[in-house]
Amino acid sequence: MTITPTDILDTLSELVVVTDTQQRCLYVNEAWCRLFGGTQTDWQGKALEMFAQRPPARLNAVSGDIATPGRFENMFSVNERVYWLEWQQTDSVTGHRTFIGRDITDRKAEEITLRATARNAETGNDTKMRFLATMSHEMRTPLNGILGMTGLMMDTGLDANQKAYAEAIRESGSALLALINDILDYSKIDAGRIDLEESVVDPLSLAQSVAELLSPRAAHKDLEIATYVDPSVPLRLMADEARLRQVLLNLAGNGVKFTETGGVTIEIRAEHHDEPGVENIRIDVHDTGVGIPQEDLTNIFEEFAQADSSHARKFEGTGLGLAIARRIVQAMGGTMSVKSKLNVGSVFSFTVPLKAKTDHHSTRYDCQIQDPVLLVTSSTILKRIVRLQLESAGVRQFHVTEDAEDAHAFLSRHRNAILLCDLPFAAQHGKKLSMAASHSLVLLSPVARGRLETFRRIGFDGYLIKPMRQSSLFRRLSDRDIPQQKTERLDSPATAPAFSPQKYRVLLAEDNQINAVLATAIIKRAGHHVDVAGNGSEALYAVQSAPYDVVLMDMHMPEMDGLEAARKIRELAGSERHVPIIALTANAMSSDRDNCLAVGMNDFLTKPFEPQELIGLIEKWGRASESLTAGADAGHQASA
């Protein structure tokens, strides 16, 4: 029995078609006939429209006679059923073409289902984000009134009990605001909408600012909080500073929260990265807190996880913070890990690859201190961090002790030694130790500032406020004659913006009566004039009726919202169109900020806000108002 090539082709499950130079059918196999009907003879000589417009396949450069296959897909209906076929086309130099097709209908159906699922998921995410953004706005609006009015009330003449009650209200409101922020942040990250911005970051300032923000909380619990940035870390890095600060605040804040004795340290080092100009920046947050059971370490970064139910009851929390922090680090291309021992403490670490803005590592710590340095403290946190700082500064001889007699013996042997004396030892042994040292500095907590004069009288000639800034420590050690200037700290009322003698005329567009009263009180207390508009239409009319230095614009208002009002102000013909507009809104999404800037607003402040934030923006844009108006008008006249 002779088997022909067509007999073999008839056994295939794939469809096989051969056409002539006019795209008429010369041959179809049995699989074709089973799908489309008829016999092989019935199809011979018929024009096949599905192949008529196919371009020639690419000529094979090796053999020169058969063109290389081309792939394509098409869809058609047979007996009211839709089919998808994938074809492989081969052309000969004589003009004949062979098409081999296989049924991919099931695969296409899966692809369509997956695309529909993805669209539904995206729609679901959009719906969820709209709901969360709306709920965030609705909750932030009354929270702004609660926190703001409580702040104003605490500035009045309250007795001790009243002040304690008001402080409890403010702390509860702040906790609720933190929860709202966590939920919104987690939802954005979960939907894949985390926004990362790149700017120049000073890692030393970043670490110090986080420590100083947490310092009052740590001091309240009698905890130490300290930072160390290794000299290997570049002076400047390219990163999203706000997101890095968010992660650090979460980790260090948890450290303070879950620590009863000891303290927290933030340590930053640089590690090698294979890509030129990029450094692996490793940040370790140590605490001496309650620790985490080993069985809980595997899920500590999971959403809503709590390390231990008893800890959860004692310290509270949603368990969202660590999940958010890890997602942020992962979005930056980094990793996060934890090591912990019960009743010993924990170390949370994360590493992120960041571009180095400077080509060389920092040498600013080399202060060439020749004299011995003595640190007297019982704090394991201070012992570790000050030792690291002194080593990085090139201090060749230093001694650490928590024994007053040992300290005095060291000073007796080294008459030129510099004394760093922690507050408890300074209070008890300060006079004896300071008299034996050639230069003495007392280490004060933020709440002990008022005792400075007492320590000066017993012999100390300088001081450092904890958490100590590395730069301040090195300056005090290097130059004994440096004047003790007033120290401004993020944890001090001194950092509230100094009110400018220049008074500005402010227009507040706000439809919520409580928030309008709050903002008006804050603005007037700073010495500025304020008018209130109840909606966007009133704001637009007011801007055209009187000159304003700054407009504070709520986004959601009746009749005309803030976006439309800002757009119409920018379309005005006179100089009033250049007035700085600050969005003052409970909307907290990055898209809201983008929308405000897109219609011509100059800045964005989210409710609830701190009074100094609001006044700072008013004065910033008030100062810019005159130059903005003058510059824009000059440009308009020149173009005319």
Q: Please check the confidence at residue 229 and state whether its pLDDT lies above 90.
A: yes
pLDDT at 60: 47
Pairing of strands 550-553, 581-585: parallel
Number of domains in the chain: 5
613 is written with which tokens? 């934030």
Q: Are residues 208 and 352 in the same domain?
A: yes
The residue among 304, 329, 356 that closes a domain is 356
Residue 252: Cβ within 10 Å count: 26
- Say what the pLDDT of residue 497 is: 41
DSSP 294-341: GGGGGGTTSTT--S-HHHHHHH---SHHHHHHHHHHHHTT-EEEEEEE
Rounded average pLDDT over 113-130: 68
Domain assignment of residue 243, yes or no:
yes
**Are 573 and 428 in a shared domain?**
no
pLDDT > 70: percent of the chain: 79
Average pLDDT, the chain: 81
Residue 496 domain flag? no
Tell me, what's the pLDDT at 124? 61
Instruction: Check residue 376 and give its pLDDT.
Output: 95
Interval 261-290 mean pLDDT: 93
CB 324 within 8 A of CB 186: yes
Confidence of residue 579 (pLDDT cuts 50, 70, 90): very high
Q: What is the pLDDT of residue 260?
A: 92
**The pLDDT value given to residue 553:** 93
207 and 352 together in one domain: yes
Query: Do 270 and 227 fall within a single domain?
Result: yes
Judge whether 457 lies within some domain: yes
Give dist(CA 596, CA 607) in Å, integer.
15
* Cα–Cα distances in angstroms (integers) from residue 198 to residues 233, 237, 354, in the given order: 18, 9, 10
Residue range 462-511, pLDDT digits in tens? 888 888 888 888 888 876 554 444 444 434 433 344 445 689 999 999 98
For residues 529 and 587, state if they share a domain: yes
Task: Specify if 500 maps to a domain.
Answer: no
Whether 314 and 398 share a structural domain: no
CA distance readout (Å), 189 to 100, 326, 398: 47, 10, 47
Q: Give me the pLDDT at residue 563, please.
A: 93
Q: Taking a C-beta distance cutoff of 8 angstroms, is the pair 347, 267 a contact?
A: no
pLDDT for residue 192 is more than 70: no
Q: How many CB atoms neighbour CB 457 within 10 A?
A: 10
pTM of the model: 0.58
- What confidence tier does 164 reach under pLDDT thresholds 50, 70, 90? confident
**CB-CB contact of 239 with 279 (8 Å):** no
Q: Is residue 347 part of a domain?
A: yes
Q: Is residue 465 part of a domain?
A: yes
146-155, 165-174, 209-218 — most confident range: 209-218
Asked if residues 383 and 374 have their Cβ atoms less than 8 Å apart, the reply is no
Residue 62 is predicted with a pLDDT of: 43
Mean pLDDT within 253-281: 92
Q: Confidence class of residue 261 from pLDDT cuts 50, 70 and 90? A: very high
DSSP assignment string, 485-538: PPPP-TTSGGGSPPPPSS--EEEEE---HHHHHHHHHHHHHTT-EEEEESSHHH
pLDDT-wise least confident of 88-102, 214-228, 374-388, 579-593: 579-593
Q: Is the predicted pLDDT of residue 607 greater than 90, yes or no?
A: no
Tens digit of pLDDT for each residue in 61-82?
Answer: 444 445 556 788 888 777 778 8
Question: Helical H runs in 231-319?
Answer: 241-257, 309-315
Looking at the structure, do residues 481 and 430 belong to the same domain, yes or no?
Answer: yes
How far apart (Å, rounded) are the C-alpha atoms in residues 263 and 252?
A: 10
In this prediction, residue 486 carries a pLDDT of 44
Contacts of 22 (CB under 8 A, 6+ apart): 47
Q: How far is it between the farthest Cα atoms of the chain?
A: 120
Q: Give Rg (Cα) of the chain.
A: 36
**Are 233 and 306 within one domain?**
yes
- Which of the residue ranges 112-126, 396-410, 462-476 has the most confident prediction, judged by mean pLDDT? 396-410
| Residue 313 belongs to a domain | yes
Q: Residue range 165-173: average pLDDT?
A: 73
pLDDT tens by residue, 410-463: 999 998 999 999 999 999 998 999 999 999 999 988 777 778 888 988 999 888
Residue 629 has pLDDT above 80, yes or no: no
pLDDT number for residue 187: 64
The answer on pLDDT for 57 being more than 70 is: no
Amino acid 13: pLDDT: 87
Name the 3-class secondary structure at 383.
helix
User: Considering only 134-143, 328-337, 395-404, which range has the smallest mean pLDDT?
Assistant: 134-143
The CATH code of the domain that includes 591 is 3.40.50.2300
Whether residue 317 is predicted with pLDDT greater than 50 in this model: the reply is: no
Under the banding of pLDDT at 50, 70 and 90, the label for residue 121 is low
Q: How far apart are CA 476 and CA 441, in angstroms?
A: 8
pLDDT band at 84 (very low <50, low <70, confident <90, very high): confident
The amino acid at residue 231 is: P
Structure tokens at 553: 């614009």
* CATH number assigned to the domain comprising residue 347: 3.30.565.10
Statement to judge: residues 305 and 450 lie in one domain = no
**Angle, alpha carbons 176-181-185 (nearest 5°):** 150
In the chain, the amino acid numbered 188 is K
| Percentage of the chain exceeding pLDDT 90 | 31
* pLDDT over threshold 70, residue 44: yes
Q: Which pLDDT does position 531 carry in this prediction?
A: 93
Residue 314 belongs to some domain of the structure: yes
Boundary residue ending a domain (467, 491, 515): 491
Which pLDDT does position 336 carry in this prediction?
93
User: At residue 168, does pLDDT exceed 90?
Assistant: no
Residues 169 and 206 in one domain: no
173 and 215 fall within a common domain: no
How would you class 249 by CB atoms within 10 Å of its CB: exposed for 0-12, middle for 13-18, buried for 19 or more?
middle
Q: Provide the pLDDT for residue 626.
A: 66
d(C-alpha 411, C-alpha 375), whole Å: 11
CB of 307 closer than 8 Å to CB of 296: yes
In this prediction, residues 11-17 reach a mean pLDDT of: 89
User: Which residues 6+ apart lie within 8 Å of 265 measured at CB?
Assistant: 225, 226, 227, 228, 284, 285, 286, 287, 381, 384, 385
Specify whether 261 is located in the same domain as 275: yes
| pLDDT category of residue 286 using cuts at 50, 70 and 90 | very high
Q: Among the listed ranges 33-37, 222-226, 348-352, 417-421, which one has the minimum average pLDDT value?
A: 33-37
Sorting pLDDT into bands at 50, 70 and 90, what band is 307?
very low
Enclosing domain of residue 121: 109-190
Single residue among 165, 190, 215 that ends a domain in this structure: 190
